[in-house]
Structure 1
């Protein structure tokens, strides 16, 4: 694996600071800024801190966490080249999240007072810096807005479905069971009684399945059991779905639940794999789908490939609008966690979704590669 395999700079036009820009800004603020080292697990910025400094993340990775029900929930993962605290730097308000060093980190910290002093002595340099920071902030806010709009719609539909099933459909099933029970009491024909017993059994099975569906739609499964088991549940559930022709799914991974994969990364990676596999099942006319997630020291590489009908590269821009592959949503998910995703396809030669997420793993030694096979029967 090459050293730049996980370098996704430019792949999605993510406006992180380049090495050249960081060196330039360090030179601008050499008399005012300072380099600070943080060991793994230490707090870089505390929740509620009244601090207007901005940090350039020179090396390492960090997690952004917010308090929810007396627990710290990770909501973002940031890598070298990113900035920390751009909003507080601009609006001078207390920090609304805390930032933890996921690995050892080196920062270059610039205080608001220092920036004000530089802006008087070197106004052009200060304007260039603030313009770049504003560009990064605007980009992040725009992506959050786009992504949240999609996710909010899906979350609302999911919760509405769960509520409807619980309040209406399951109540109706209970009423049907009660009426069938009363009906048995007044019918003497034994054959009819057997038919009623069969109906009762079918309704009870439907009730069990619906209760399971409500549980699945009512909480974040990945937060409960992790990405590995969630994907296995997804593949097993697919085996129960009707398909027009048999499909074999081969899933390869290397113990993703070991190593502390941050929750936001696990969620987005799960959804990328899930959506890509569903696209292949529903639209590719394939009989073989291969999904792979490998997490090593340099980062995560993933792919979903099928041997289906494919599509022309010249039409790839139309694919998201057509809704067949949802490439735009896949792109937004990968982009949000600092990675990239690409799609390769050719008519008659199948489709392959590939991507990487440059999140490090402490070690991949003694981590086993596992292969699971699932079969969807027609």
Structure 2
């Protein structure tokens, strides 16, 4: 007897757009892109799924990848030199990794999936390609990410979410 195969996860940029549009989080990404511009951006970002407990970002790692959260929840853990841990939660419609994406500094916190998640990633190299070929989209994305950074820095508990 053959067991039924699980259907593979399907990714569609419009699902990410809907997650962004319906997010009530104060630090949700508010990108003012047209549907056609989202489709273009979708060609530059790579979707993947995560299982509960899977690590997305390690504190101290050096990489400039930006992550868009389509579904699920991620926990952000920051451990200081005295062993104290601070925590923030990031959900659907938000981004994570914007701090290192812009600063090129090591990651300031670790990020793990608290449940099954759908995430999209944008590397610095792909962002530069986007900026060269579709500068209005890259500019709008940069401005929206700046807004996320500002909101997180202003909200003390959310500061830890700047990775």
TM-score by length of 2: 0.73
The match for 2:43 among 26, 31, 48 is 31
Q: Is the 8 A contact 1:38 1:104 kept in 2?
A: yes
The match for 1:9 among 16, 24, 28 is 24
Tell me the residue number matched to 1:114. 126
Q: What secondary structure sits across from 2:42 in the alignment?
A: coil
Q: Is the 8 A contact 2:30 2:144 kept in 1?
A: no
Q: Distance in 2 between matches of 1:8 and 1:125?
A: 21
Q: Is the 8 A contact 1:40 1:102 kept in 2?
A: yes
Larger radius of gyration: 1
Q: Is the 8 A contact 1:43 1:99 kept in 2?
A: yes
Q: Distance in 1 between matches of 2:37 and 2:27?
A: 15
Q: Distance in 1 between matches of 2:35 and 2:53?
A: 26
Bigger helix fraction: 1
Q: Deviations over 1:164-185 (max 9, x none)?
A: xxxxxxxxxxxxxxxxxxxxxx
After TM superposition, give the deviation of residue 23 of structure 1 in Å: 6.8
Q: Is the 8 A contact 1:25 1:129 kept in 2?
A: no
The match for 1:62 among 55, 74, 99 is 74
Q: Distance in 1 between matches of 2:126 and 2:23?
A: 32
Q: Is the 8 A contact 2:23 2:92 kept in 1?
A: no
TM-score by length of 1: 0.33
Q: Structure 1 residues 20, 121: CA separation in 2 closer, same or farther (over 3 Å shift)? A: closer
Structure with higher RCO (Cα < 8 A, 6+ apart): 2
After TM superposition, give the deviation of residue 71 of structure 1 in Å: 5.6
Q: Is the 8 A contact 2:51 2:113 kept in 1?
A: yes
Structure 1: stretches of 5+ with no match in the other structure: 1-6, 148-335, 337-378
Q: What secondary structure sits across from 1:124 in the alignment?
A: helix
Structure 2: stretches of 5+ with no match in the other structure: 1-21, 159-163
Q: Distance in 1 between matches of 2:76 and 2:68?
A: 15
Q: Is the 8 A contact 2:27 2:152 kept in 1?
A: no
Counterpart mapping for 1:1-378 below 5 A: 9=24, 14-17=26-29, 26-68=38-80, 73-144=85-156
Q: Give the aligned length.
A: 137
After TM superposition, give the deviation of residue 47 of structure 1 in Å: 1.3
